[in-house]
Amino acid sequence: MKLDGILPFARKLIDKAVSPGDCVVDATLGNGHDTLFLAHLIGEAGLVYGFDIQEEAVSTTKKRLLEEKLGDRVQLFHKGHEHIFTSIPKSHHGKIKAAIFNLGYLPGGDKTIVTTPGTTISAIEQLLEIMSPEGIIVLVIYHGHQEGALERDALLQFVKQLDQRAAHVMQYQFINQQNNPPFIIAIEKR
């Protein structure tokens, strides 16, 4: 297949926005795969801020980073992404180049603990305030469960109302696949 799958496309978007030495955000640590990807991208002089409400996600991510000897490039927070603004030092406000969200529940974890529209929209608003111009937010939306469908609908309504003078918004998805395949919303700050 010549078309990029959802996760490879998400990483391509992030890769275009990030250079060594940059500050970035993993808004949903999950099993640490995106955090590790970001830690490699930003190099020794950069910094990844990672957020998750589940201790299991924080521990798994920390372990993955230590195995790769990348722990010094990442600051992990055992709290929700709705605390981005107050958790990231003011000295890095205006310097965040990218953020990624994998919405839904922790793969292999408790499926009753899910991301929610209110906290996700709050995190996006905070990021748009503290990101650098041309910074990018990538949301991978898993909507094959009831809460995911609610979050999808709220996010689509929210991003469609963003002023085009403030941000570019795009949607990338396969439209002929069954079982509610995930899709991407990408937001580039202007």
DSSP H/E element including 5: none
Residue type, 112: T
Q: What is the domain partition of the chain in residue ranges?
A: 6-189
Share of the chain above pLDDT 70, in %: 100
Taking the CA of residue 153 as centre, how many other CA atoms within 13 Å lie in the half-sphere pointing to its CB? Answer: 6
Cross-strand bridge partners of residue 105: 114
Kindly report the CATH class assigned to 6-189. alpha beta
Contact 37, 7 (CB under 8 A): no
Q: How many CB atoms lie within 10 A of CB 165?
A: 6
pLDDT digits (tens, 9 = 90+) for 80-113: 999 999 999 999 999 999 999 999 998 888 889 9
Q: What pLDDT does 188 receive?
A: 98
Residue type, 165: R
Q: CA distances (Å), 109 to each of 25, 27, 42, 132, in order?
A: 22, 17, 28, 34
Q: What pLDDT does 17 receive?
A: 97
Q: What pLDDT does 120 receive?
A: 98
Give the predicted TM-score (pTM) of the model.
Answer: 0.97
5 contact partners, CB below 8 Å, separation of at least 6: none
Contact 84, 131 (CB under 8 A): no
Tell me how far the alpha carbon of residue 115 is from its chain's centroid: 12
Q: Tokens for 18, please give them.
A: 């990030």
